[in-house]
Amino acid sequence: MTEATNVETKKPLLEVKNLKKSFPIKRGFLQRTVGHVRAVDDVSFTINEGETLSLVGESGCGKTTTVRAIMRAVSPDEGEVLFRTSEEETVDLAELSLSQIRPLRRNIQMIFQDPFSSLNPRMNIFQLISEPLLVNGIGNHQEREDRVTELLRQVGLRPEYMQRFPHAFSGGQRQRIGIARALALNPRLIVADEPVSGLDVSVQAQVINLMMDLQDEFGLTYLFVSHDLSVVNQISDRVVVMYVGRVVEVGTPQELFRNPKHPYTSALISALPITDPTQRVERPVLEGEIANPANPPSGCYFHPRCPFATEQCKVEAPPLQMSSSGRLVSCHRVEELDLAGAGKLGAAAE
């Protein structure tokens, strides 16, 4: 198991530096570009081998676009995506062409959110899971079949189910098939894009437990994307909190939830319903709407909703910097604010 304090001594597997991606907004018959949606607006983080890093945020925060840019399902506009391959060389995934990327695909695999659309309804389970093997020319038919059998067992499904089609399975089982498919190539990094959001609560626990067990057994590295803070708390070693395309804070779940350093993190935690009816508190509720990534505010994107905003916040975007307490935070007032304790959009220690 990885421990937060050892993070610095591990070698980084993936380093994302200043990633940017915008989508043009096109209007009219001639499809003129009238603006841009800044989906990812200068995002940087590092994932170490064997750890689980989560990207957390609400809609429009850019977490999905970030992972798609990393996987080159879309091409980044700017920035670097430095990945350490199995041959111990570092390549910049953002720079390569799609045909150069293809042989590298076996290093990074993905688990998708929707169990119903992530499996081709016209292929049976064997075909679905063996596709990555087939496409990369791995093994003959018998070896592939053995590998699929092994994978199905590992995710807790009977190998006899190989001939069945996806419509025969429940949501939780389909996600397990998706996990088996992602494991097929023994990837160095697995990106999980909201893998349990589409599942019932009782099934979520099964899948999360499975993912953690597999990680322990095979030393997997996860990049986990979720909007659900409780799930993130359970599975992550470190968490990156995003707001409208930018990183606002990075830390371990303990640090973030007990001692948030950014007002948005604090607001997120404060907004979470407490699953203890004896602890209903009157909490201040964060006002306003999530900023529009097509037309974000000036300076710090969070300033219109932030109870601690100053003139500087309206004008100047705060850089993501290491605070004196050893945390990466993007806030001008990080040294002054005391936000500790969930449920407080606390008072500034003036």
Q: Looking at residues 121 to 140 of the shown chain, list those that interact with other proteins (rule: CB under 8 A).
A: 121-124, 131-132, 135-136
Q: Return the structure tokens found at 121.
A: 């309804």
Looking at 257, 301, 302, 308, which residue binds other proteins (CB under 8 A)? 257
Choose the stretch contacting other proteins; rule: CB under 8 A; options: 32-40, 78-86, 263-271, 323-331: 263-271
Site for other proteins in 48-77 (CB under 8 A): 58-59, 71, 73
Choose the stretch contacting other proteins; rule: CB under 8 A; options: 14-22, 287-295, 318-326, 331-339: 287-295
List the 238-243 sheet strands across, edge first. Answer: 108-111, 189-193, 222-226, 52-56, 238-243, 246-251, 328-329, 321-322
For 343, counting Cβ atoms within 10 Å of its Cβ (0-12 exposed, 13-18 middle, 19+ buried), the class is middle
Q: What is the DSSP string of 20-63?
A: EEEEEEEETTTTEEEEEEEEEEEEEEEEETT-EEEEE--TTSSH
Nearer to other proteins, 90 or 209 (CB): 209
Q: How far apart are CA 299 and CA 313, in angstroms?
A: 6
Give the x/- contact pattern for other proteins in 177-206, rule: CB under 8 A.
-x--x---x--------------xxxxxxx
Least distance CB 182 / other proteins (angstroms): 9
> Do the Cβ atoms of 244 and 62 come closer than 8 Å?
yes
36 binds other proteins (CB under 8 A): no
> Do the Cβ atoms of 335 and 324 come closer than 8 Å?
yes
Least distance CB 243 / other proteins (angstroms): 10
Nearer to other proteins, 40 or 244 (CB): 244
**Nearest in space to 260 (alpha carbons), one of 271, 249, 275:** 249
Looking at 236, 265, 266, 330, which residue binds other proteins (CB under 8 A)? 236
Nearer to other proteins, 6 or 120 (CB): 120
331 binds other proteins (CB under 8 A): no
Choose the stretch contacting other proteins; rule: CB under 8 A; options: 33-41, 79-87, 222-230, 330-338: 222-230
257 Cβ neighbours under 8 A, 6+ residues apart: 229, 233, 269, 342
Q: How far apart are CA 77 and CA 89, in angstroms?
A: 23
Least distance CB 323 / other proteins (angstroms): 22
118 binds other proteins (CB under 8 A): yes
- Residue 265 Rama label (left phi>0; alpha psi -120 to 50; beta): alpha
289 binds other proteins (CB under 8 A): yes
173 binds other proteins (CB under 8 A): yes
Least distance CB 325 / other proteins (angstroms): 19
| Residue 37: strand pairing partners | 23
